[in-house]
Amino acid sequence: MKRRIRMGMVGGGPGAFIGGVHRMAARLDGKIELVCGAFATTHEKNMAMSEELLLPKERCYDTYQQMLDAEAGLPEGERMDFVAVTTPNSTHYPIAMSALEHGFHVVCEKPITMNADEAKKLAAKVKETGLLFALMHNYSAYPMIRQMKGMIAAGAIGTPRKIVSTYDLGWLAGANACKQAEWRVNPKFSGAVACVGDIGTHAQQLIEFTTGLKITEVAADLTTFVEGRLLDDDATIMLKFDTGAKGVIEVSEVASGEENQFKLRVYGSTGSLEWSQMEPENLILRTNDDAMKTLRRGWAGMLDEVKPFIRTPAGHPEGFIEAFGNIYLDFANALLARLEGKPYSTSFPTVDEGVREMQFIEAVVKSTGNNGIWTRI
Amino acid sequence: MKRRIRMGMVGGGPGAFIGGVHRMAARLDGKIELVCGAFATTHEKNMAMSEELLLPKERCYDTYQQMLDAEAGLPEGERMDFVAVTTPNSTHYPIAMSALEHGFHVVCEKPITMNADEAKKLAAKVKETGLLFALMHNYSAYPMIRQMKGMIAAGAIGTPRKIVSTYDLGWLAGANACKQAEWRVNPKFSGAVACVGDIGTHAQQLIEFTTGLKITEVAADLTTFVEGRLLDDDATIMLKFDTGAKGVIEVSEVASGEENQFKLRVYGSTGSLEWSQMEPENLILRTNDDAMKTLRRGWAGMLDEVKPFIRTPAGHPEGFIEAFGNIYLDFANALLARLEGKPYSTSFPTVDEGVREMQFIEAVVKSTGNNGIWTRI
Amino acid sequence: MKRRIRMGMVGGGPGAFIGGVHRMAARLDGKIELVCGAFATTHEKNMAMSEELLLPKERCYDTYQQMLDAEAGLPEGERMDFVAVTTPNSTHYPIAMSALEHGFHVVCEKPITMNADEAKKLAAKVKETGLLFALMHNYSAYPMIRQMKGMIAAGAIGTPRKIVSTYDLGWLAGANACKQAEWRVNPKFSGAVACVGDIGTHAQQLIEFTTGLKITEVAADLTTFVEGRLLDDDATIMLKFDTGAKGVIEVSEVASGEENQFKLRVYGSTGSLEWSQMEPENLILRTNDDAMKTLRRGWAGMLDEVKPFIRTPAGHPEGFIEAFGNIYLDFANALLARLEGKPYSTSFPTVDEGVREMQFIEAVVKSTGNNGIWTRI
Amino acid sequence: MKRRIRMGMVGGGPGAFIGGVHRMAARLDGKIELVCGAFATTHEKNMAMSEELLLPKERCYDTYQQMLDAEAGLPEGERMDFVAVTTPNSTHYPIAMSALEHGFHVVCEKPITMNADEAKKLAAKVKETGLLFALMHNYSAYPMIRQMKGMIAAGAIGTPRKIVSTYDLGWLAGANACKQAEWRVNPKFSGAVACVGDIGTHAQQLIEFTTGLKITEVAADLTTFVEGRLLDDDATIMLKFDTGAKGVIEVSEVASGEENQFKLRVYGSTGSLEWSQMEPENLILRTNDDAMKTLRRGWAGMLDEVKPFIRTPAGHPEGFIEAFGNIYLDFANALLARLEGKPYSTSFPTVDEGVREMQFIEAVVKSTGNNGIWTRI
């Protein structure tokens, strides 16, 4: 019998930006229903969320442990199907691990954990349990990123040679950044890195996701520009890939005046593709012997695998929430297929990409500490 | 006691584009719940929608009349609060009128009716009943359009002088357009005009909405380019406004290769503003004595009245569905305020704007038939 | 024997904008040499120009009449070959006519004369004398405009249906515009119109030039927004063409904040082309069944007839002066070919396009005075 | 007494791209006259250039040595004032050195020489002779680059922190690139590097020019992607500056489909500036607390020092040739001032910037050979 997939949430309390996005994204297609949560760290805030979200008080738990225990004890027709983990980095591992141990599927914010060790343990647990684990690398779910991935795989630009990704934000340019930024530059909550974990991993993941290449070595330079800050707020990372391709990731959170300027260019032997997050409906194809083409979401040339993630015709802009929603849509479809015993092939980022991102971070830190020398992932 | 607003839907059956957008938009903020519908013209299709939307079979009605009668008879705690009318033009009037007579609030697609007479009757009924009536001029709910309206009202460009709006689509360039286009060029379903009703009214509404001016005269030229087509697929309309301002609307549905190219420029005595639907996050302010400014949704300078309609920070693109969602959010908030007996000031387009759009259409038709002569609205 | 073509200039005295552009454009390719001029209305200013331009004092004449008489009397190896007329509109006719009568070729600024009558007389004189007459519709010499013309002729967009050109400047938005603007709004120097003559004719010429169509009827609305101004500073003009195509020209010189925003879109039955003067290196081709293509000057796909007017590789921006220079290059090549007795086919705008632009202006004025009614050219 | 500055040219024979640009640029403002040249390596080609350029046969020399000797022997009123060196890299040093030794001023293409040693010798000779030496870093002469430099100096973006420059071309993506590319990847003519010398030095120079900072260390990765090629066709270079600022240069000549995509972003503590060579009329200013501003050449806000290098009003595009021309204009003005004994302050790049660029290249090569380790310039 058809039903909605039931979601529980950890994090996303009053004022949280990304938690709200998770909820909008999960609602968008009508396949997911939020049924419970441990949204915040105080009872009062959780009760406020109960009221805001029209959830029963008894399913707004004070801790994620309570939520996992209680929900696991509910009848099958009521209990949540999966947990969305939208807390600071430091708690991803214990929450996700415990959720898996309680038999719940997981959607987890990135970066997956505090280190590669934790990530590998999660990966092992996912394998062991056979549960679904989606890592919220939302940018990888933009339709034109899927188009880019498909076109590269199909040889549209020949062999990738040089990959350039830049991701620049201005929000940490000043010493007194907003509250949402605080935990991100605190090693206790963020881990060994700040900027590289927050946005550098987006670049690393999107590069590997779209090209299918693996980064094998990095030569990195982490910088802290704002005095007194304990972690990096800027980085440049040179890349070598398993095929001999080269690349560079440039990221900064002190890029004054930038909103969320994330760009990716892949140069191949016969052509190149360029995508920019702030104009996500475009994918630019250049070659040496034809006019520049701007492929547009929903217009001519869309690959079959992209079509399920298109909601409106070309020229009716889709954006960030819709891309986020694509991860949830894919995840919900996978769970629905399981319920119905049907095959389904997922395309969302998995725990394995979480392992990669942590290994990448560790190599970046090591190279920086070693005078920028090339360092293996 | 807090609850979700309950929505019933007429139209939006299998394959309908705009019905699906209404549903996504209504879901987005978690304040509205779809509880029933008369989605299509056959029982089979309505049952298919019941399954797709996980709605009880008994609340998927075969006709809007059945729906209105049945829902009116349900207990207050169950019955729908409002009807969303997403059918072809010809049925807007009977459905909306009957919904109002049954005591339901209405969200109605544009253009509101088949002629000004019907629109005026609806306006009278809205006034009489005191029910809410939102006209789905979705573009007017883009945050940067609200910003434009607020800035013009605040004198940011001086006195508006010249207003230029162009709206070009290619979808009817060929003789065999898609099925969704068919009713739009059939007088039986579309009324006296096709292109002007479909997109010309968007331009007219957005011009009057953002500037606060009223069009008083038009000199128009309706054209049918594709042989055998019974209604206009292209138009140019010169405008005079109540303040002495001038303008022009250029619209075409045979603009080969255009997706949904809707643009608006307002030139005032000291500055100008430009907005483009396909890049809806930008609002360009130009003056003769300063650098061009691109205001961005969510970045510096947002007016207070715009903020409630912003869901993500700048640089995290919002689009068409979110703008649509803003009408539903505003509508839901208004109904919630009524339920709680609180004051609330709506900003969605109303039935009065529906009367304007029909008067505009009638003047355009008259001018075209009269050798393009200036004709009063 | 090879030599440079010798140019004499009327107008372009101290502070004149367009005269300076003529000189830079004429110098660019090293085929033209400025040998004399009647640059300004006083002896002092002409002597200042002699010094600035390193010209012999005796060839900087006080009046164009003196120049024509004196130069006509010089030996063939010294005297100028052609006259460039860069004065206000009112003097184009007497200067150009006298130049032709003295046996000189002419490059003349637009609009060609004060009325269609004068233009026809010039056309007759050109025919009678067999001299070359280039009308400085500089925009028609941008390489991507030539590309657009060639592609339309070759059927790249099918049959043209709808043509839209907008040309907006802010320089006359205030009452006290700069000195260069003064004569343009003075009927004594400018003629029956200001804005339409200054920029409306650019739009009309470019439309007819690129499409090969002829405007047969206009329905026009001339407006004067700035109080006390004697001529139009804004206009909207609906168009009918000889093939049944339709169009609209929107022009304004009170478009606050606009620099020189001249755009042209041509929609055909199978595709469309868009060009924008402020990004002149791009030509956008859209169709309903392929990705949008941006053709770039010097990159793939250039037509043979465009190549002679390309000076640098793609990505090395060419602009306004180079386009202007293309008219001079074509003119110089034509004169050189005459000297050598070789055939040469010119592509610059001619006196016949001058007749068209004056007829267009007269029809626009007539329609405006006649309540906007459709009026034959 | 006023006169034109007399230019002799080495290089720029039949089919040479950059030589032709030098000539157009030198002609543009009417202050420079080409009087002689040693354009090519055969007598026949030099005679062909004599005919093409309308130069006396006797001043089209077969070798630069002949030219320098012969011109030095001409009377002062005839002989050239300066030599423009537009040959492949390997000959810059001997030609420029000999020109200086013969008493001629020099305009020299970049990169200045084959190594830092030669560059230093040239610098010493320039100092010794007091002659003018302009290094043709043409991009530094774009008006909006001058504006960027001036705004940074004036504190418009606070303290520069992160500088990112990318320069991508596709022309060497294939094995069989055009003839003009051949010498550039041949160590005999190009030196120790290809891509980094050809375009990497443009990035390095523009960064130091606009910010006033000095690069102190590089961590570099030179790559050769096309098999059989002897020199780099791609590079990534991380940067440290004398103030603690960081940066990155990414350059590629195998960036398939790119025309001449040169970009520069400078992020400071309170704002940032972005410029792109293919849209050279724009300079984008971003801050965290105001709308994005696009400064436009010729529009509001131009600094005084930029104005002499502006030829047309805003919206009348200037480009590559005009920027090139600005170096020549500045150079000619400086020579004219010398002739008249007046003071003049030049702004063109000098021999000292040539020394910097060679030191930069040498450090890049060294770092690449040393596993990417940070290496001092």
User: How large is the average pLDDT for residues C36-49?
Assistant: 97
Q: What pLDDT is stored for residue B1 in this prediction?
A: 61
* The model's pTM: 0.97
B316 neighbourhood in chain A, CB within 8 Å: 21, 260, 319-320
Are C169 and C263 within 8 A, CB to CB? no
Which of B288, B291, B294 faces D301 most closely, judged by CB atoms?
Answer: B291
Note whether D313 contacts C260, CB cutoff 8 Å. yes
The CATH classification of domain A5-139+326-349, taken from the options 1.10.150.120, 3.40.50.2300, 3.40.50.720, 3.40.50.970: 3.40.50.720
Report, as an integer, the average pLDDT of A206-227: 98
pLDDT one-digit tens code per residue, A117-155: 999 999 999 999 999 999 999 999 999 999 999 999 999
Q: 3-class SS at A267?
A: strand
Q: Work out the percent of chain C whose per-residue pLDDT is above 70.
A: 99
pLDDT for the residue A184: 85
Express each pLDDT in C151-171 by its tens digit. Answer: 999 999 999 999 999 999 999
Of C173, C236, C272, the CB nearest to B257: C272
Distance (Å) from the C-alpha of residue B258 to the closest C-alpha of chain C?
7
Q: What is the pLDDT of residue D175?
A: 85
In SS3 terms, chain B reads as CCCCEEEEEECCCCCCHHHHHHHHHHHCCCCEEEEEEECCCCHHHHHHHHHHHCCCHHHECCCHHHHHHHHHCCCCCCCCCEEEECCCHHHHHHHHHHHHHCCCEEEECCCCCCCHHHHHHHHHHHHHHCCCEEECCHHHHCHHHHHHHHHHHCCCCCCEEEEEEEEECCCCCCCCCCHHHHHHHCHHHHCCCCHHHHHHHHHHHHHHHHHCCCEEEEEEEEECCCCCCCCCCEEEEEEEECCCCEEEEEEECCCCCCCCEEEEEEEECCCEEEEECCCCCEEEEEECCEEEEEEECCCCCCCCCCHHHCCCCCCCCCCHHHHHHHHHHHHHHHHHHHHCCCCCCCCCCCHHHHHHHHHHHHHHHHHHHCCCCCEEC
Q: Tokens 């609602």 — which residue?
A: A27
Residue of B nearest to A167 (CA): B315
Q: Which of the residues B279, B281, B294 would you substitute to probe the D interface, choosing the one with the greatest number of D C-beta atoms within 10 Å?
A: B294
Chain C positions contacting chain B at CB under 8 Å are 157-158, 161-162, 164, 166, 168, 170-171, 173-174, 219, 221, 223, 225, 234, 236, 238, 246-248, 250, 252, 254-258, 265, 267-272, 285-288, 292, 371-374
In percent, the amount of chain A with pLDDT more than 70 equals 99
Q: Determine, for residues D319 and C318 on separate chains, whether the beta-carbon distance falls below 8 Å.
A: yes
Q: What is the pLDDT of residue A182?
A: 80
Arithmetic mean of pLDDT, C224-238 = 96
User: Nearest residue on chain C to D325, judged by CA atoms?
Assistant: C28
* pLDDT of A1 over the 70 cut: no
Mutate to test the interface with B, among A312, A339, A340 (most CBs of B within 10 A): A312
Six-digit token string for B229: 């087509």
For domain C5-139+326-350, the CATH superfamily is NAD(P)-binding Rossmann-like Domain (3.40.50.720)
The DSSP bridge partners found for residue C32 are C5
Q: What is the mean pLDDT of residues D62-70?
A: 98
Q: At residue B123, does pLDDT exceed 70? A: yes
Token pair in block for residue C81:
């070959």
pLDDT at site C208 = 98
pLDDT score of B3: 95
Chain C residue with Cα closest to B177: C288
| Cα(C265)–Cα(B168) distance, integer angstroms | 11
According to the model, what pLDDT value does residue A238 have? 98
Tell me if C290 sits within 8 A of C235, measured CB to CB: no
Tell me whether residues D256 and A236 touch, CB distance under 8 A: no
pLDDT at C22 over 70: yes
Closest CA to C249 of B218, B254, B248, B274: B248
Q: Inter-chain contact A292–C288, Cβ cutoff 8 Å?
A: no
Smallest CA–CA separation between C64 and chain B, in Å? 37
D271-276, long-range: CB < 8 A, 24+ apart: D271/A256, D271/A257, D271/D156, D271/D157, D271/D158, D272/A170, D272/A255, D272/A256, D272/A257, D272/A258, D272/D157, D273/D148, D273/D151, D273/D152, D273/D156, D273/D157, D275/D142, D275/D144, D275/D145, D275/D148
The pLDDT, as a whole number, for residue D1 is 61
B-chain residues near A336 (CB < 8 A): none
Q: How many CB atoms lie within 10 A of CB C344?
A: 12
**Can you tell me whether residue D12 is helix, strand or coil?**
coil
Q: Could you give the angle at the alpha carbon of C247 between the alpha carbons of C242 and C249, nearest 5°? A: 125
Instruction: Confirm if B96 and B109 have CB atoms less than 8 A apart.
Output: no
Query: How far away is chain A from the Cα of B232, in angstroms, using its nearest Cα?
Result: 22
Chain D contact residues (CB < 8 Å to A): 157-158, 161-162, 164, 166, 168, 170-171, 173-174, 219, 221, 223, 225, 234, 236, 238, 246-248, 250, 252, 254-258, 265, 267-272, 285-288, 292, 371-374
Of A162, A225, A252, the CB nearest to D234: A162
pLDDT computed for residue D148 by the predictor: 98
Q: Which residues of C touch D54 (CB under 8 A)?
A: 2-4, 30
Q: Which of B293, B295, B296 to mutate to test the interface with D (most CBs of D within 10 A)?
A: B293
Best CA proximity match to C20, nearest among D297, D141, D312: D312
| pLDDT of B185 | 86
Are B29 and A24 inside 8 Å of each other by CB? Answer: yes
Phi and psi for B26 in degrees, rounded to 5?
A: -70, -30
Name the residue facing B28 among A17, A28, A312 (closest C-beta).
A28
Contact D270 A173 (CB under 8 A): yes
Cβ atoms within 10 A of the Cβ of D272, count? 32
**CB-facing half-sphere around the CA of D231: CA atoms within 13 A:** 23
| Residues of chain A neighbouring B17 (CB-CB closer than 8 A) | 312-313
Nearest CA in chain D to A173: D269
pLDDT at residue B15 in the model: 86
Phi, psi (rounded to 5 degrees) for C333 = -60, -40
Confidence check: pLDDT of D360 > 90: yes
User: Residue ranges of the domains in chain C?
Assistant: 5-139+326-350, 143-307+356-376
Q: In what order do the strands lie in the sheet with C105-108?
A: C32-38, C5-10, C82-85, C105-108, C133-135
CB A375 within 8 A of CB A367: yes
Please give the mean pLDDT across all residues of chain A: 96
Task: Kindly report, residue by residue over C275-322, the tens digit of the pLDDT.
Answer: 999 999 999 999 999 999 999 999 999 999 999 999 999 999 999 999
For residue B177, what pLDDT is reported?
A: 64
Return the CATH number of the domain spanning residue range C143-307+356-376.
3.30.360.10
State the nearest Cα–Cα gap between A169 and chain C, in angstroms: 28
Nearest chain A residue (CA) to B22: A28
Are the C-beta atoms of residues A108 and A136 closer than 8 Å to each other? yes
Residues in chain D: 377
Q: What is the torsional sign of CA D369, D370, D372, D377?
A: negative
Which tens digit of pLDDT belongs to each residue from A75-103? 999 999 999 999 999 999 999 999 999 99
Lowest mean pLDDT among A71-75, B187-191, D279-283, D355-359: B187-191
Q: Is the pLDDT of residue B254 over 90?
A: yes
- D16: confidence class by pLDDT, cuts 50, 70, 90: confident
As assigned by CATH, the class of the B142-312+356-376 domain is alpha beta
> Residue C15: which pLDDT band, with cuts at 50, 70 and 90?
confident
Asked if B252 lies within 8 A of C162 by C-beta distance, the reply is: yes
How confident is the model at residue D15, as a pLDDT?
86
Of the candidates C318, C273, C278, the residue with the CA atom closest to the CA atom of residue C143: C318
Predicted confidence (pLDDT) at residue D24 exceeds the cutoff of 90: yes
List pLDDT tens digits, range B267-305. Answer: 999 999 999 999 999 999 999 999 999 999 999 999 999
The answer on pLDDT for A180 being more than 80 is no
Residue A178 has pLDDT above 90, yes or no: no
Measured N-to-C along each axis, helices A201-211 and A351-369 cross at an angle, to the nearest 10 degrees, of 120
Mutation target vs D (from B299, B302, B303, B306; most D CBs, 10 A cutoff): B299
Q: Measured between beta carbons, which residues in chain C are less than 8 angstroms from residue B248?
A: 236, 248, 250
Contact A319 B318 (CB under 8 A): yes
Residue of B nearest to A26 (CA): B28
Q: Do B299 and D291 touch (CB under 8 A)?
A: yes
Q: CA B193, CA B200: separation in Å to the nearest integer?
A: 10
Please, are residues C33 and C332 in contact by the beta-carbon 8 Å criterion? Answer: no
Q: What is the pLDDT of residues D240-293, one digit of tens each?
A: 999 999 999 999 999 999 999 999 999 999 999 999 999 999 999 999 999 999
Query: Using alpha carbons only, how large is chain A's radius of gyration in Å?
Result: 21
Which helix (H) or strand (E) element contains residue D82?
strand D82-85
- Neighbors of chain A with 3 or more C-beta pairs under 8 Å: B, C, D
Q: Do B236 and C246 touch (CB under 8 A)?
A: yes
| Residue B144 pLDDT greater than 70, yes or no | yes
Domains B5-139+326-350 and B142-312+356-376 share a fold: no
Q: Give all strands (DSSP E) within C186-313, no chain letters.
A: 215-223, 234-241, 246-252, 261-268, 272-276, 282-287, 290-296
* C84-122 per-position pLDDT tens digit: 999 999 999 999 999 999 999 999 999 999 999 999 999
